[in-house]
Amino acid sequence: MSGIFTKNRLIGLGIALIICAVDQYIKWLVRVPLELREKGVIELIPFFDLRWTQNFGVSLGMFEATSVEMRWMLVLVTALIAGVVFVWMLRERAMGDILGLAMILGGALGNIYDRYTWGYVIDYADLHIGEFRPFLIFNVADAAITIGVLIILARSFFLRDSEEDTPKDAVAASTETN
């Protein structure tokens, strides 16, 4: 397959759409059948609850939208970032990089849809140890974005080291044969 939509890139787009769909489906479950908004909290197991949270900010609750104008500004900014991630994904060839970017894109689309539709992002996953909460309350989209960023960072650190070694080895090999 030639052109911009190679097999790996199409798989990446599929992964992004699946993450967005799963995120929206789970948010529908907590909104409609589970009525989490009305209940506030559903205790599942000693260290994990479903807890209704309306996140008006982005990235750890920062840049909170305190007005309608700010809401639409956040929709625009996050959509632009998602667009950059999409273009970046279309430029990558390695499946590992495409996977990380697809996870980021899928999560971003899920959260953008929430902000566009509701004016806030629906968060519900509350992982805790007693009263200690090592994470903010999150959703599938947030988890996908975090894992995607970790994949991109890990690949950039590990591949950068191996790519830096390769030219030196190639230079050494060419000087040995001369």
Dump pLDDT digits (tens) for 59-110: 656 678 889 999 999 999 999 999 999 999 999 999 999 999 999 999 999 9
Q: How confident is the model at residue 172 (pLDDT cuts 50, 70, 90)?
A: very low
Active-site pick, 142, 161, 165, 169: 142
Give the pLDDT score at 63: 76
Q: How confident is the model at residue 23 (pLDDT cuts 50, 70, 90)?
A: very high
123 carries an active-site annotation: yes
- The pLDDT of 53-60, averaged and rounded, is 84
- Residue 80 sits at the vertex; the CA angle it makes with 12 and 157, to the nearest 5 degrees, is 55
Chain centroid, CA 112 distance in Å: 11
- The pLDDT of 117-124, averaged and rounded, is 96
142 carries an active-site annotation: yes
Q: Domain residue spans in the chain?
A: 10-168
| pLDDT above 90 coverage of the chain, percent | 75
Q: How confident is the model at residue 146 (pLDDT cuts 50, 70, 90)?
A: very high
In whole angstroms, what is the distance from residue 8 CA to residue 136 CA?
A: 33
Please say if the pLDDT value at position 166 is more than 70: no
State the average pLDDT for the chain. Answer: 89
Q: What is the pTM of this model?
A: 0.85
Residues 99/85, Cβ–Cβ less than 8 Å: no
Active-site pick, 97, 114, 123, 126: 123
